[in-house]
Amino acid sequence: MPNLFDYLTYKTASFSKEPLNPVDVAVFSQACMIDGAGTVPAPPRMPGALSRAMALVAPNTGGARFSDLVRACGEAGERADRMFTGLVPRSIRDLLFALTAAPRFRDVRLRDAASTFSEKDQTQFGAVTFTTAGGMSFVAFRGTDASFTGWRENFDMAYRDVPAQELARDYLENVVPRLPGRVHVGGHSKGGNLALYAALTCSERVRSRIERVWCIDGPGFRSGRFSEEDYARLEGRVSRIVPQDSVIGMLLDCPIEPSTVWSNAYGVDQHSVFSWEVDGSDFRYLDRPNDSALIVHDVMAEWLEGMDAERTEQAVAALFAAAEKSGAKDAAALLCGGQDKLRAVAQAARKIDPASRDVLNEVLGNLVGIAARRVGKDMAEALFGWIG
């Protein structure tokens, strides 16, 4: 079956002739992982009414094209690799060159690039807006990079709102009034969470301009963070998409039922949209996620419900203290390094301070216990045996 790269070669119709589809959304969700700082203009400081008037007159002028990013990559020399973020930077690099040649995407404009990274505040945020000659606008929020800072912020979502979520809402409030027509908002992984958070918490003036929110294998929110009334304001305008064995997209709570796509990868590697199978102008779908994905959701939900915010914060701090002592250079080395790397974290946990070690042993022991009760000891050992 074709994949995302194949789609870029055979899909030649412009956005004026064929509207945005889920595969396009996946493309944009990955294209925003290209750091175009210095090439893609930042949000302007001119009055909103003036900049929106300019957008209405010429919706696809200004900004940068993907070819401009290729040129910037060539000029960057040894620094070029820093332009490509996330867990699959080589695929993101390949995507950039494919987009430059793709008839459907090569004239798309990139604008309003924003990026914030702070180890002190545990913040990693990025966003960019894509516009087309047909007047379509897509506000894309960046997923998590490979840093411990970015992944620590992800885990912090389990017990509080995080800075990236608030930055996403502020970004949406800033850019939407300056865009023509109805606006799509989306992202992959953490980017999908940020898109939905921003749409749920923005002003009604901005929310009314949103055509659809796209959450591509992104986690939900802590239990009780949003009510039925909150989601009702976006009724019929939210699409969630996950692979058949989703892990990230099944974490935390979201009442929107996901569509399930077929991935040709295994385990956590299914999180990469580059592994998802494409059928024409859409993905190849299944009826629902596999039982393993549903089990992950249920086990994690019960585990988190057994801890208050203070205990969860302590557990997250202890886990990342161990991760940093494991010798891994970043989170990607752990997540993509298999169980050997995860066992290194477990071993490093013995070297952190006793109070943190006790917290980590207790909460991870509870996690294994819940998994054993729900799916049996053998399955729990397969999923979490590295902890021991």
Q: Could you give the count of Cα atoms lying within 13 Å of 330 in the half-sphere of its Cβ?
A: 11
Same domain, yes or no, for 246 and 131?
Answer: yes
Q: Two tokens at 76? A: 């960057």
> What are the two backbone dihedrals, phi and then psi, of residue 34, each rounded to the nearest 5 degrees?
-85, 125
Q: 52-78 as b/e, with b when 16 or more CB fall inside 10 Å?
A: bebbeeebbeebbbbebbbebbeeeee
Same domain, yes or no, for 104 and 198?
Answer: yes
Residue 198 within a domain: yes
Same domain, yes or no, for 188 and 75?
Answer: yes
pLDDT, tens digit, for every residue of 188-207?
Answer: 999 999 999 999 999 999 99
pLDDT score at 253: 95
Same domain, yes or no, for 213 and 266?
Answer: yes
pLDDT per 10-residue tile (average), the chain, 388 residues: 97 96 98 96 73 60 90 89 92 98 97 95 96 94 92 94 98 94 95 98 97 98 96 98 95 96 93 97 96 88 93 91 79 65 68 86 86 75 55
- For residue 314, the cross-strand partners are none
pTM metric for this prediction: 0.93
Angle subtended by helix axes 22-31 and 89-101, to nearest 10: 120
pLDDT score at 27: 98
pLDDT score at 386: 47
Residue 178 within a domain: yes
Residue 299 within a domain: no
pLDDT score at 54: 62
Contact in structure between 198 and 168 (CB atoms under 8 Å): yes
Same domain, yes or no, for 177 and 246?
Answer: yes
Same domain, yes or no, for 103 and 166?
Answer: yes
Question: Which of 4, 77, 76 is CA-nearest to residue 36?
Answer: 76
Same domain, yes or no, for 32 and 166?
Answer: yes
Same domain, yes or no, for 382 and 337?
Answer: yes
Residue 295 within a domain: no
- Domain finish residue from 232, 266, 290: 290
Instruction: List the CATH number of the domain containing 53.
Output: 3.40.50
Same domain, yes or no, for 173 and 221?
Answer: yes
The total of structural domains in the chain comes to 2
Q: Which amino acid is at 186?
A: G
Same domain, yes or no, for 61 and 170?
Answer: yes
- Measure the CA–CA gap between 314 and 352, rounded to whole angstroms: 13
Dihedral of CA atoms 45, 49, 52, 57 in degrees, nearest 10, equals -120
pLDDT score at 52: 62
Domain ranges, residue 127: 4-290
Contact in structure between 273 and 216 (CB atoms under 8 Å): yes
Same domain, yes or no, for 239 and 323?
Answer: no
- Cβ neighbours, 10 Å, residue 280: 12
- In the chain, count H helices and then E strands: 16, 10
Contact in structure between 215 and 187 (CB atoms under 8 Å): yes
pLDDT score at 356: 86
- Measure the CA–CA gap between 82 and 93, rounded to whole angstroms: 10
Same domain, yes or no, for 129 and 197?
Answer: yes
pLDDT score at 382: 61
What stretch of H or E contains 148?
helix 148-156
pLDDT score at 234: 98
Contacts of 22 (CB under 8 A, 6+ apart): 214, 239, 241, 259, 282, 283
- Measure the CA–CA gap between 229 and 249, rounded to whole angstroms: 22
- Measure the CA–CA gap between 317 and 326, rounded to whole angstroms: 14
Contact in structure between 64 and 31 (CB atoms under 8 Å): no
